[in-house]
């Protein structure tokens, strides 16, 4: 198992390097730093001095890959690729290009708001969707099941943005139950979190419940269920005791892969509700064309995805004793 | 030759019509292949699927009308002079909707309103000034006294429209029934009687009822829109009904052209990885793991930002706003395609791994058939069902993704009409008192119907094409596989 983990971790390095090279070529080769400076400075006729200064302040005034003017190791290290792309591997994210703040500090600060929305949504959502799907399966073949599936298909055909706008209008503006948007500290913080969590739960109800329902249905046609019925077990005991446990394997292992990415928050939700998390940070960075932040988020996103994949494999060994990692 | 108009083929127009040609060609070809005909016959017999197809055909019709672009000739005084064309690129849909285009107001107005939504200072004929709701330029312009005449006028026109709708429906129903009768060799009376009782092999009654519902809604709307803004006007006074119709094309282009871009990558790389194995497999696996590890929105955002820099530095390449917006739309499709091929590729690799061990592939190899030929003749036809299921499932995810991307600011050009730009512009108006709801409402209804029909159609296609579904063993496994491949596009949303 230790050897397997080590191999998986080593395999992550070329993938992250690939991500790095891809973003590097997107940001620096397709367009030169001069183009970016011109766009950031935002005026049609920028003086060459202003561009030079912009590049110097952000350490973009170096060659891309090989610095022929430097000596020794600096030939490779004093380059844009090393300073702005490879440095991400040591979690040295640098400073934001639009406001000059330390990116690592911002990430640490914004992680908490992101998690305080994402974690409840994840945990409650999983429990809620599994129960809803279980209910549909319990009533399978009846009109409850049919109307539940119709509801799911209809719910998954609505854009997530309508759930947010509708939720803000109904709950926030019309009924005055919660603030429309914003984020608070201290004992009142939960009031701000209630609506985003609720909206997030409702918006993925259709897709996830339908998927989980199909997992249960797949399980219910297996031999052990028939055996249990033949032994005279009650339908509800079969469902809640045997089928639920076995169907939870694909559900849980499928959920594990997203756990690490919960840190990054949700782009749309946070930006609509004004939650100062990493999702809205990313949106702001995209809107202000802050390449340093976008680069960092791409790197972190890939890293967390790979961690999620490894966790998925590990979780298989935990819930299914037949699986061994070689 | 001096034409009164000059046809203009935008990038996405060309690709859209290429796609239509590909689909028609595929349909023609699969008519002769029984193993392909059987599942499609099953799709044709599913009620939900055929209702969805009927609605989708209407959407596609609007989108295709909106994809025939041209430039009008400018009027000249001198006969025989060289004809010059207007710089503005119009579509056939624009020509039909000319009154709606030209009949814009100054700002918001509610659906079916004859007066504006906000009060203005109006100067009367005698020079005094009052604060009142001014009359609209277009909505209810023929009315003398809108307070009294408006509702009866709307009712009268709606009834007229309904009558026209019923007439159109009878004609269409006759045509459809006649076609079915012609194809199946039955008489017209037999088919219509079976359809009436709901006993025809095709869900003919459902199709005809859907058509009837569509006629009863659309024709009165069209009739009324000649004199009213049936869905109101937006902030700058444009007719929302017209904007919504224009948005349909953008959604369909993103949903379909992305697939066109994605397919070659997924097909070639997936089958090659599965068939050759070894280092080819390693390289391709590395490629798609790397690509799929990047969060979708961020990769798209990064690429679109880079394209913006490129377009800013090469501003002179794009001679008009339409071309610029079109280039951006096509680029968005390409980017979405490049980021979404990984799911299907992984799936095809797995399927090819299984197929290459089968007897008929082994036999072909023993006969010395070249690997490329085996992949083309023996592997590709047997993975086609996966390709079709994926593309149909991916469509609705892409339509939804467009709205999100436009909100984030990396979607279509702001000058282009799309559901995303409509929602984005309208969401701030929810804070108004009284609220401006009609823009969001129209975007919601048109988008919901489109995505719902796409989902229903996808379900019907999956039920018919997936061999596992056919054996009725495990619908869940099929759904899970389909989910895995839709995952890369859905992660965007």
Q: Do B474 and A31 touch (CB under 8 A)?
A: no
Q: What is the pLDDT of residue B210?
A: 92
**Mean pLDDT throughout B102-126?**
82
**Domain range for residue B289?**
240-468
* CATH level 2 (architecture), domain A103-319: Orthogonal Bundle (1.10)
Q: Do B293 and A31 touch (CB under 8 A)?
A: no
**Residue closest to B52 by CA, chosen among B388, B392, B344:** B392
Q: What is the pLDDT of residue B474?
A: 47
Q: Is B137 helix (H, G, I), strand (E, B) or coil?
A: coil
| pLDDT per residue as tens digits for the range B319-342 | 778 888 888 899 999 999 988 899
In chain B, what residues touch A27 (CB-CB under 8 Å)? 302, 306
Whether residue A297 has pLDDT greater than 70: yes
Q: Is B67 helix (H, G, I), strand (E, B) or coil?
A: coil
Domain match, B270 and B221 both: no
Whether residue A295 has pLDDT greater than 60: yes
Report yes or no on B235 lying in a domain: no
Q: What is the pLDDT of residue B481?
A: 53
User: Both tokens of residue A205?
Assistant: 């109800």
What is the secondary structure of A33-86 as a DSSP string?
A: HHHHHHHHH--SS--HHHHHHHHHHTT--S-SS--TTS-TTHHHHSSHIIIIIG
Torsion of CA B267, B270, B274, B279, to 10 degrees: 130
Domain match, B197 and B245 both: no
Phi-psi region of B37 (alpha: psi -120 to 50; beta: other; left: phi over 0): alpha
| pLDDT per residue as tens digits for the range A107-141 | 998 988 899 899 999 999 999 999 999 999 999 88
B235 close to A (CB below 8 A): no
Domain match, B326 and B385 both: yes
User: Both tokens of residue A293?
Assistant: 């932040």
B444 close to A (CB below 8 A): yes
Domain end position, chosen among B229, B249, B269: B229
Q: What is the pLDDT of residue A32?
A: 73
Report yes or no on B487 lying in a domain: no
Nearest CA in chain B to A169: B430
**Mean pLDDT throughout B404-413?**
85
Dihedrals φ, ψ of A94, to 5°? 75, -160
Dihedrals φ, ψ of B200, to 5°? -70, 155
Report yes or no on B43 lying in a domain: no
**Going by DSSP bridges, is the β-strand pair B120-123/B85-91 parallel, antiparallel, or unpaired?**
unpaired
Domain match, B375 and B454 both: yes
Q: Rounded to whole angstroms, how far apart are CA atoms B401 and B420?
A: 9
User: Both tokens of residue B172?
Assistant: 């269409």
Is residue A243 a contact partner of residue A136, using CB atoms and an 8 Å limit?
no
Report yes or no on B424 lying in a domain: yes
Q: Do A286 and B430 touch (CB under 8 A)?
A: no
Q: Rounded to whole angstroms, how far apart are CA atoms A55 and A33?
A: 7
**Residue closest to B395 by CA, chosen among B250, B256, B253, B245:** B256
Is residue B474 a contact partner of residue A221, using CB atoms and an 8 Å limit?
yes
Q: What is the pLDDT of residue B2?
A: 66
- Please provide the distance, in angstroms rounded to a whole number, between the alpha carbons at the two ends of chain B: 49
Q: What is the pLDDT of residue B249?
A: 93
- Binned at pLDDT 50, 70 and 90, residue B488 comes out as very low
**Residue closest to A260 by CA, chosen among A62, A69, A12, A7:** A12
B305 close to A (CB below 8 A): yes
Q: Do A35 and B309 touch (CB under 8 A)?
A: yes
In chain B, what residues touch A302 (CB-CB under 8 Å)? 290, 293-295
In chain A, what residues touch B430 (CB-CB under 8 Å)? 165, 168-169, 173
Q: Rounded to whole angstroms, how far apart are CA atoms B122 and A292?
A: 53
Domain end position, chosen among B190, B206, B229: B229
Domain end position, chosen among B199, B229, B259: B229
Domain match, B155 and B302 both: no
Dihedrals φ, ψ of B113, to 5°? -80, 155
**Mean pLDDT throughout B305-320?**
76
Domain match, B183 and B311 both: no
Domain match, B260 and B405 both: yes
Q: Do B452 and A39 touch (CB under 8 A)?
A: no
Nearest CA of chain B to the CA of A4: how many Å? Answer: 18
Q: Which contiguous run of DSSP H or E holds residue B316? A: none
| pLDDT per residue as tens digits for the range B184-207 | 888 888 888 888 888 888 888 889
Is residue B466 a contact partner of residue B389, using CB atoms and an 8 Å limit?
yes
Q: Do B452 and A38 touch (CB under 8 A)?
A: no
Report yes or no on B489 lying in a domain: no
B315 close to A (CB below 8 A): no
B310 close to A (CB below 8 A): yes
In chain B, what residues touch A283 (CB-CB under 8 Å)? 408-409
Structural domain spans, chain A: 2-90, 103-319
B428 close to A (CB below 8 A): no
Domains contained in chain B, number: 2
In chain B, what residues touch A218 (CB-CB under 8 Å)? 474-477
Provide ipTM, 2 decimals: 0.87
B477 close to A (CB below 8 A): yes
Report yes or no on B2 lying in a domain: no
- Binned at pLDDT 50, 70 and 90, residue B395 comes out as very high
Question: Looking at A220-229, A261-270, B154-163, B217-226, which range is the least confident one?
Answer: A261-270
Q: What is the pLDDT of residue B491?
A: 45
Whether residue B272 has pLDDT greater than 70: yes
* Minimal Cβ distance to B301: which of A160, A211, A294: A294
Q: Do A286 and B408 touch (CB under 8 A)?
A: yes
Domain match, B439 and B366 both: yes
Q: Rounded to whole angstroms, how far apart are CA atoms B189 and B89?
A: 48
Rg over CA atoms, chain B: 26
**Mean pLDDT throughout A103-109?**
90
The CATH number of the domain holding residue B432 is 1.10.3720.10
Whether residue B492 has pLDDT greater than 60: no
Q: Do A294 and B305 touch (CB under 8 A)?
A: yes
Question: Looking at A261-265, B263-267, B353-357, which range is the least confident one?
Answer: A261-265
Domain match, B211 and B253 both: no
Domain match, B443 and B311 both: yes
Whether residue B493 has pLDDT greater than 60: no
* Minimal Cβ distance to A267: which of B289, B302, B408: B408
**Residue closest to B395 by CA, chosen among B441, B351, B336, B342:** B336
| pLDDT per residue as tens digits for the range A19-44 | 888 888 887 776 677 777 777 776 56
Higher pLDDT, A39 or B392: B392
Location of structure tokens 């069902």: B385
Is residue B73 a contact partner of residue B4, using CB atoms and an 8 Å limit?
yes
Residues belonging to chain B: 493
- Average pLDDT of chain A to the nearest whole number: 84
Nearest CA in chain A to B459: A153
Q: Rounded to whole angstroms, how far apart are CA atoms B265 and B269?
A: 6
Q: Rounded to whole angstroms, how far apart are CA atoms A9 and B335?
A: 29
List the 388-407 stretch of B: residues with Cβ below 8 A of A. 396, 400, 403-404, 407
Whether residue B81 has pLDDT greater than 80: no
Rounded to an integer, what is the distance from CA B76 to the centroid of its chain?
A: 38
Contacts of A249 (CB under 8 A, 6+ apart): A319, A320
**Mean pLDDT throughout A224-244?**
90
In chain B, what residues touch A173 (CB-CB under 8 Å)? 430-431
Report yes or no on B28 lying in a domain: no
In chain B, what residues touch A30 (CB-CB under 8 Å)? 306, 310
Is residue A307 a contact partner of residue A299, using CB atoms and an 8 Å limit?
no
Domain match, B178 and B307 both: no
* Minimal Cβ distance to A217: which of B295, B451, B475: B475
Q: Do A298 and B459 touch (CB under 8 A)?
A: no
Report yes or no on B90 lying in a domain: no
């Amino acid at each position: 198992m230790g050897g397997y983990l080590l191999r998986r971790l080593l395999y992550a390095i070329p993938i992250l390097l690939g991500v790095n090279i891809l973003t590097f070529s997107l940001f620096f080769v397709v367009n030169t730093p001069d183009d970016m400076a011109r766009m950031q400075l935002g005026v049609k006729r920028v003086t060459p001095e202003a561009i030079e200064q912009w590049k110097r302040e952000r350490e973009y005034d170096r060659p891309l890959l090989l610095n022929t003017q430097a000596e020794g190791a600096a030939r490779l290290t004093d380059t844009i690729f090393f300073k702005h792309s490879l440095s991400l591997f040591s979690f040295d994210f640098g400073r934001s290009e639009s406001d000059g703040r330390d990116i690592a500090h911002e990430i640490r600060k914004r992680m908490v708001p992101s998690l305080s929305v994402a974690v409840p949504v994840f945990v409650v959502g999983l429990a809620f969707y599994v129960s809803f799907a279980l209910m549909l399966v319990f009533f399978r073949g009846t009109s409850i099941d049919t109307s539940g599936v119709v509801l799911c298909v209809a719910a998954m055909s609505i854009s997530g943005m309508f759930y947010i706008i509708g939720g803000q209008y109904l709950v926030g503006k019309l009924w005055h139950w919660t603030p429309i948007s914003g984020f608070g500290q201290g004992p009142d913080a939960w009031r701000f979190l209630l609506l985003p969590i609720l909206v997030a739960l409702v918006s993925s109800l259709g897709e996830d419940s339908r998927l989980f329902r199909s997992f249960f249905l797949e399980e219910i046609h297996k031999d052990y269920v028939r055996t249990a019925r033949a032994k005279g077990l009650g339908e509800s005991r079969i469902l809640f005791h045997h089928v639920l446990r076995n169907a939870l394997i694909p559900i849980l292992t499928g959920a594990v892969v997203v756990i690490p990415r919960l840190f990054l928050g949700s782009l749309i939700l946070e930006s609509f509700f004004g939650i100062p998390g990493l999702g809205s940070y990313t949106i702001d960075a995209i809107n202000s064309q802050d390449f340093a932040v976008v680069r960092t988020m791409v790197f972190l996103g890939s890293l967390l995805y790979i961690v999620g994949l490894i966790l998925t494999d590990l979780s298989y060994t935990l819930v299914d004793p037949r699986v061994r990692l070689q | 030759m001096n034409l009164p108009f000059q046809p203009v083929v935008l990038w996405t127009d060309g690709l859209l019509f290429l796609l239509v040609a590909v689909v028609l060609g595929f349909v023609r070809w699969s008519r002769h292949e029984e193993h392909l005909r059987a599942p499609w016959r099953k799709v044709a017999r599913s009620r939900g699927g055929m209702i969805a197809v009927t609605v989708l055909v209407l959407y596609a019709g609007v989108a295709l009308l909106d994809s025939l672009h041209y430039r009008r000739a400018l009027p000249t005084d001198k006969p025989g002079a060289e004809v010059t064309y207007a710089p503005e690129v119009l579509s056939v849909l624009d020509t039909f909707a000319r009154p709606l285009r030209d009949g814009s107001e100054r700002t918001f107005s509610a659906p079916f309103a004859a007066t504006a939504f906000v009060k203005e200072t109006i100067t009367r004929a005698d020079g005094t000034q009052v604060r009142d709701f001014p009359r609209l330029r277009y909505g209810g312009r023929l009315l003398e006294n809108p307070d009294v005449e408006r509702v009866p006028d709307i009712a009268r026109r709606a009834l007229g429209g309904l009558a026209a709708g019923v007439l159109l429906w009878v004609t269409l129903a006759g045509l459809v029934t006649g076609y079915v009768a012609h194809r199946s060799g039955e008489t017209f009376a037999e088919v219509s009687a079976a359809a009436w009782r709901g006993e025809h092999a095709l869900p003919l009654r459902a199709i005809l009822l859907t058509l009837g519902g569509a006629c009863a809604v659309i024709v009165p709307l069209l009739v009324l829109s000649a004199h009213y803004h049936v869905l109101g006007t937006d902030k700058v006074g444009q007719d929302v009904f017209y904007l919504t119709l224009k948005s349909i094309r953008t959604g369909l282009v993103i949903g379909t052209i992305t697939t066109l871009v994605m397919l070659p990558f997924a097909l070639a790389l997936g089958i090659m990885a599965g068939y050759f194995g070894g280092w080819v497999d390693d390289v391709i696996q590395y490629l798609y793991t790397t690509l799929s590890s990047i969060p979708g929105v961020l990769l798209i955002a990064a690429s679109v930002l880079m394209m913006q820099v490129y377009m800013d530095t090469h501003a002179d390449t794009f001679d008009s706003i339409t071309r610029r917006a079109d280039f951006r739309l096509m680029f968005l499709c390409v980017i979405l395609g490049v980021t979404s091929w990984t799911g299907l590729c992984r799936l095809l690799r797995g399927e090819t791994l299984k197929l290459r061990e089968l007897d008929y592939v082994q036999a072909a190899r023993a006969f010395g058939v070249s690997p490329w030929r085996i992949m083309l003749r023996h592997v590709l036809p047997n993975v086609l069902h996966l390709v079709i299921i994926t593309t149909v499932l991916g469509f609705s995810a892409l339509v939804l993704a467009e709205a999100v991307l436009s909100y984030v600011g990396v979607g279509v050009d702001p000058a282009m009409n799309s559901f995303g730009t409509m929602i984005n512009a309208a969401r701030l108006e929810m804070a108004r008192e009284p609220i401006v709801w009609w823009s969001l409402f129209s975007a919601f209804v048109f988008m919901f119907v489109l995505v719902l029909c796409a989902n229903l159609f996808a379900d019907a296609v999956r039920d018919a094409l997936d061999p596992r579904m056919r054996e009725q063993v495990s619908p869940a496994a099929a759904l899970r596989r389909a989910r895995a491949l839709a995952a890369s596009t859905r992660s965007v949303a």
